[in-house]
């Protein structure tokens, strides 16, 4: 009898959870419209706190699956900015940094060079500008650019050349930024 009652309680909880998701509907992307949206979950554990400061550094190494898609680090950072936007967390309380190196660097080429390489417009360009406007610091590894013989002039002007991606990662983690790998 206890087992049947336990299963009934679990089933009711599952139905209630599905109803919450159904009521909330479509994800919203108020800060970075090109990135994944966010749906507020009433009663969820650890909701965004308007009084807290959130610090994260995104280690951007992966390329997008397709030249028409966002680099994963931009999409994920944008998604979290959207979460904070939906939950009315002031952007001054969100301290994000993104550092590009490896395959992700193709995503920060200026539009002309991206088009020459991939035959399509760079979908990341607008997002880089939106992120910068939202207060995100954006870097590219100078060591990687040198090793790959990439002229810094062909990188988006919204990206700053840093001495070394690993130094950027260590410096911000030493300052309490959570590491996000994409």
- Read off the pLDDT of residues 43-72 as tens digits, 9 standing for 90 and up: 999 999 999 999 999 999 999 999 999 999
- Dmax (CA) of the chain: 72
Q: Is 43 left (phi over 0), alpha (psi -120 to 50) or beta?
A: left
Residue 7 in any domain: the answer is no
CATH number at residue 134: 3.40.1260.10
25 confidence band (pLDDT: 50, 70, 90): confident
Give CA–CA dist 157/161, Å, rounded.
10
Residue 21 in any domain: the answer is no
pTM listed for this prediction = 0.86
Contacts of 5 (CB under 8 A, 6+ apart): none
Question: Which residues form the domain of 150?
Answer: 54-181
Residue 38 in any domain: the answer is no
Residue 90 in any domain: the answer is yes
175 confidence band (pLDDT: 50, 70, 90): very high
Residue 166 in any domain: the answer is yes
Residue 159 in any domain: the answer is yes
pLDDT in tens, 141-172: 999 999 999 999 999 999 999 999 999 999 99
Angle between helices 124-133 and 72-86 (to 10 degrees): 40
Q: Which residue has the higher pLDDT, 3 or 102?
A: 102
Q: Which residue has the higher pLDDT, 46 or 19?
A: 46
Contacts of 141 (CB under 8 A, 6+ apart): 99, 100, 101, 105, 162, 164, 165, 166, 168
The total domain count for the chain is 1
Terminal Cα-to-Cα distance of the chain (whole angstroms): 48
User: What pLDDT does residue 16 have?
Assistant: 53
- Is the model's pLDDT at 12 over the cut of 70? no
Residue 4 in any domain: the answer is no
Give CA–CA dist 115/39, Å, rounded.
34
Q: What integer is the mean pLDDT of 68-82?
A: 98
């Amino acid at each position: 009898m206890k087992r049947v009652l336990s299963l009934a309680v679990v089933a009711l909880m599952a139905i209630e959870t599905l109803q919450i998701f159904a009521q909330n509907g479509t994800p919203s992307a108020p800060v970075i419209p090109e990135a994944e949206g966010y749906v507020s979950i009433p009663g969820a554990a650890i909701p965004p706190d308007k009084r807290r400061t959130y610090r994260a550094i995104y280690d951007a190494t992966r390329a997008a699956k397709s030249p028409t898609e966002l680099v994963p680090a931009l999409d994920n950072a944008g998604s979290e900015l959207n979460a904070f936007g939906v939950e009315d967390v002031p952007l001054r309380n969100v301290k994000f940094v993104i550092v590009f190196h490896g395959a992700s660097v193709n995503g920060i080429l200026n539009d002309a060079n991206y088009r020459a390489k991939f035959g399509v417009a760079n979908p990341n360009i607008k997002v880089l500008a939106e992120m910068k406007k939202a207060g995100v610091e954006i870097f590219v590894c100078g060591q990687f650019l040198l090793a790959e013989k990439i002229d810094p002039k062909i990188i988006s002007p919204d990206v700053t050349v840093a001495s070394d991606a690993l130094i950027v990662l260590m410096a911000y983690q030493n300052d309490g930024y959570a590491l996000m790998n994409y």
